[in-house]
Every structure is written in structure tokens, then in C-alpha cells.
Structure 1
Amino acid sequence: MKTNKEYQEEIEKKYGKSLKDIMHELIVEHHMDQWDGSTELGVPKETFVAWRTKFVLAQIKGEQI
């Protein structure tokens, strides 16, 4: 089983942009939930949810990722 980091590297390479940008596009621009987003990226739902949580919490705290 792959780690979230391995999935991240694979997705960033495939799409040619940062995971943060990819997640923003899927969630904000395309209004995808965890099921549609994880299917689109080909990652487990839990991985997609972890990434979504990471970026949302960083935005709330005003942190750079």
C-alpha cells in the first residue's frame, strides 16, 4: 500500500502542478466531494480527506504550505 506522500508525488507528476493547486481546482472550482475527488485522482478516499483537511486547516491558520 502506498503512503500519502507517494500518492502526492505521483499526482503532482501526473498533473504537473502542486497538490495544493490540484485540490483547490477539484474542491473549489469543480465542487467535488471526497468520493468524486478520490476517484478522479485515483487515490483512497482517506488520502483525499487527509489532504483536504491539511489544506483547509492551513488556510484557517493562515499558514503557507
Structure 2
Amino acid sequence: MASYYVNKKAQPNGDHEVHKSDCRYLPSLENRKYLGEFSNCKDAVNEAKKTYDKSNGCYTCSNECHTS
């Protein structure tokens, strides 16, 4: 299980990226929302979509859930 966060600030394309807690691109404390503990990024992205419809996995730490 890993802790996941979603970036409160959207990327230029409108995506809110989902990151693992150990990602080097993890947003600052004020710019991230804790999603919970998940065994995979797909469940974390689904949780993020409850707040931000346009959520996407981070290319670096959640690549299997990253879409272009």
C-alpha cells in the first residue's frame, strides 16, 4: 500500500496529477490533497476523480495510470 495525493493545481492541460508520497514531483503541502492508502494508482486516480473530474496519474511515479 502507498499513500497517494492529488495536486490541487491543474497542469496546463487541465489535469490534476496523482502522486505517490515518495514522488520527487509531489506538490507542496498547500497544493496537495491526501487521497488515502491504495495498492495501485488506478484506485487512487478514481478517488481523485471524485474531486477533480480531470485527474491523471503522474508520469514519473504512477506511469501505468498516466494518459496523454
Larger Cα-atom Rg = 1
Which structure features the higher share of strand residues? 2
Which structure features the higher share of helix residues? 1
Q: Of the two structures, which has the highest relative contact order with CA contacts closer than 8 Å and spacing of 6 or more?
A: 2
TM-score under structure 2 length normalisation: 0.29
